Amino acid sequence: MAKYDKKSVEDLDVAGKKVIVRVDFNVPLDKQTNEITDDKRIQGALPTIKYLVDHNAKVILVSHLGRPKNGPEAKFSMKPAAERLAQLLGKPVTLAADVIGEDAKAKAAALKDGEILMLENVRFHKEETKNDPKFAQELASMADLYVNDAFGTAHRAHASTAGLANFLPSACGYLIQKEIKFIGGALDEPQRPFVAILGGAKVSDKIGVITNLLDKADTVIICGGMAYTFIGAMGGTVGDSLFEADKVDLAKELIAKAEEKGVKLLLPEDTVIADAFDANANSKVVSSMEIPDGWQGLDIGPKTIEKFSAAVKEAKTVIWNGPAGVFEFEKFAVGTKAIAQAIADTDAISIIGGGDSASAIQNLGFADKVTHISTGGGASLEYIEGKVLPGIDCLSDRKNGRTFAAGNWKMNCGVPSDAAKLIGDLVPLVKDAESRIALGVPATALAAALEASAYTNVKIAAQNCHFEEKGAFTGEISPLWLAKMGVTYCIIGHSERREYNAETDETVNKKAHALLKYGVKPIICCGETLEQRESGVYFDWIKGQIEGALKGIPAEKMCQITIAYEPIWAIGTGKVATDDQAEEICGFIRGVVKTLYNDDIAAALTIQYGGSVKAATAAGLFSMPNVNGGLVGGASLKADEFSKICLA
């Protein structure tokens, strides 16, 4: 599971600051009156909004509503949400006429402490879902800080969910904190027995979820439409029931894996079948293994309800996602209601994964009898699956000094297929790593690397860029291109480039400014030659490099920067700095940053060592107080070797 130890809204100094907050106010509206029919999502954001107001922040809220296709549409305006929020808070909420236009910026600039502004529907701009860096920059320009409290959209790398964190100091709100606490806690350290109940239509929708839960749960219950593919895999007849013939082999593999791991995999014993997919169809109960042609399974039967309920009764932790039958038809909602009742009656920690499961719990009046109802159906499903959620992963870490292992492939592994294979080999080895991980790949492999690493904890870095957005610079890479591709980091001022390509502190500084402008995080390298070290001038040399590279970079942008100390004399020579030598220089660099900025920025800065880091030496280096990780060369080209460094 992804390890999310992120700053909370309480970790930010919000007084007098403009704080842009991503909320999920995508509420259902009555088609006739346009009135809100369920305001739970708005109520879910109230604790964070109230905290900010009570602590004298200037609050700017951003959300989407519905799925507008062609720009602004009156029926998708945030007006109903702004009005309901004002009612719930008992104070005015100003609505901007646009998102990043003149009205929004003027009203944001005019905000006073404790006041609230709601921007118009962020999806009026197609740039939102594309995570366009210029659009994210425009949003960020209105604020000083960013808080994400929209768990329901945290699985999307959009401009207002992930993009804003590339420009502003960031934290999560109380709602996301709660989701991390309950879902993450249940999966990482469940009280046992741990029972997972999975329903819904298709196996293909929940392959990753089932696979991940087989490594964590004691009992996995399969119901809903996807159960019939498992029944078919066991040799049963499924009639006209939902059935994915191309997933039969996968179902067999999952059944075998459950047996191998000693996990109880419970499937329906009996099934309520119908002669048509209709609310009033003829129905009867049959064995799940013997569904006749012309009939289809629409709900679990009484024996199955008894078996599933007994498993829930024994549980200490329960996660439920997906209905047991066709919940929208009252006649075939019996199984879903029975599961909801069983969960409500247990004393176990109970987590409901959104969607129809949440609706069942709420409609039956059991909301106060479960531990947690997730606000994000898709997000909770991907979290349970073990995927990294971009809208949370991007936020600032709560603690300083988290290890950052970055690989630099240099002029190796630039063939896209080779890059994809290497990353594919690495990802399962580091999926539980608590360190930050990045790979600096050649430009020819960037697209393939980004695809191979999507929704994992491995981020991609470019090895260099130009400082101009566009122009007649043959062979160069624009920082804007990197941002639009989704590249997270860029290595600049690499000691080899300084030595062999005559890069200067001035060009490194220009690149740093350009990258920050478009939301790409610079890894700024510095280091001395053997001659400089032996002549004793290396402290002054490195100080000059740091001062030059950081010239004009504002304090609030330092949270986006990593510095890598790379002694040129230890790169590719077989010579390695001792742990004490690495600590001495990294500590010195931190002191220089302290002088340039302040104690807090210096303490929070990530400083890597980058001189022939190996698996055998990583643990010692990373244990040094001022060494926060490594910029790794050749060892990053071997998945096994690099994974050991990431886990050191």
User: Which amino acid, 556?
Assistant: E
- Torsional sign, CA 369, 372, 377, 380: negative
| Antiparallel, parallel or unpaired: β 283-287 and 270-274 | antiparallel
pTM (2 decimals)? 0.93
Instruction: Kindly provide the b/e burial profile for residues 397-420, where b requires at least 16 CB atoms within 10 angstroms of the residue's own CB.
Output: beeebebbbbbbbbebbbebeebb
pLDDT for 261 equals 95
Sequence-ordered list of residues with C-beta below 8 angstroms from that of 483, at least 6 positions apart, any chain: 133, 166, 518, 519, 520
pLDDT given for residue 400 in this prediction: 86
Question: Do the beta carbons of residue 211 and residue 256 sit within 8 Å?
Answer: no
The reported pLDDT for the residue numbered 2 is 64
> Does 566 participate in catalysis according to the annotation?
yes
Task: Show the tokens assigned to 142.
Answer: 């209105």
CATH number of this structure's domain 9-177, picked from the four choices 3.40.640.10, 3.20.19.10, 3.40.50.1260, 3.40.50.920:
3.40.50.1260
From the list 55, 64, 372, 494, the catalytic residue is: 494
Angle value at C-alpha 398, between 392 and 399, nearest 5 degrees: 135
pLDDT at site 572: 63
Label residue 350 exposed, middle or buried (CB < 10 Å: 0-12, 13-18, 19+).
buried
Amino acid in position 67? R
> CA 576, 578, 582, 588 torsion: positive or negative?
negative
ω into 193 cis (within 30 of 0): yes
In this predicted structure, what is the pLDDT of residue 353? 87
Side-chain half-sphere exposure of 587, counting CA atoms within 13 A = 10
What is the mean pLDDT for each group of 10 consecutive residues in the chain (648 residues)? 85 98 95 90 96 98 94 95 98 98 98 98 97 97 98 96 97 96 90 95 87 94 96 96 95 96 97 96 97 97 98 97 92 95 95 84 90 89 92 93 94 96 97 94 98 96 96 95 97 88 93 98 93 90 97 97 90 76 96 98 96 90 96 96 96
Q: Classify burial at 32, counting beta carbons within 10 Å of its beta carbon; exposed 0-12, middle 13-18, buried 19 or more.
A: exposed
Among 198, 252, 195, 259, which residue's Cα sits nearest to residue 225? 198
DSSP string across 109-158: HT--TT-EEEPPPGGGSTTTTTT-HHHHHHHHTT-SEEEE--GGGTTS--
| Domain 190-385, CATH number (from 3.40.50.720, 3.40.50.1260, 3.40.50.2300, 3.30.590.20) | 3.40.50.1260
- Known active-site residue 494: yes
Architecture of domain 399-646: Alpha-Beta Barrel (3.20)
3-state class (DSSP) for residue 491:
strand
Tokens of 61: 């809220």
Which residues partner with 436 through β-bridges? 404
Q: Write phi, then psi, for 435 (nearest 5 degrees).
A: -80, 160
* 632 neighbors 407 (Cβ within 8 angstroms): yes
First to last CA, the chain: 18
**Would you say the CATH fold of 399-646 matches that of 9-177?**
no
Buried b (16+ CB within 10 A) or exposed e, 632-641: bbbbbbebeb
Sign of CA dihedral 421, 425, 431, 435: negative
Catalytic-labelled residue, pool 115, 179, 503, 566 = 566
Domain ranges of the chain: 9-177, 190-385, 399-646
Q: Among candidates 136, 137, 138, 98, which has minimal Cα distance to 117?
A: 98
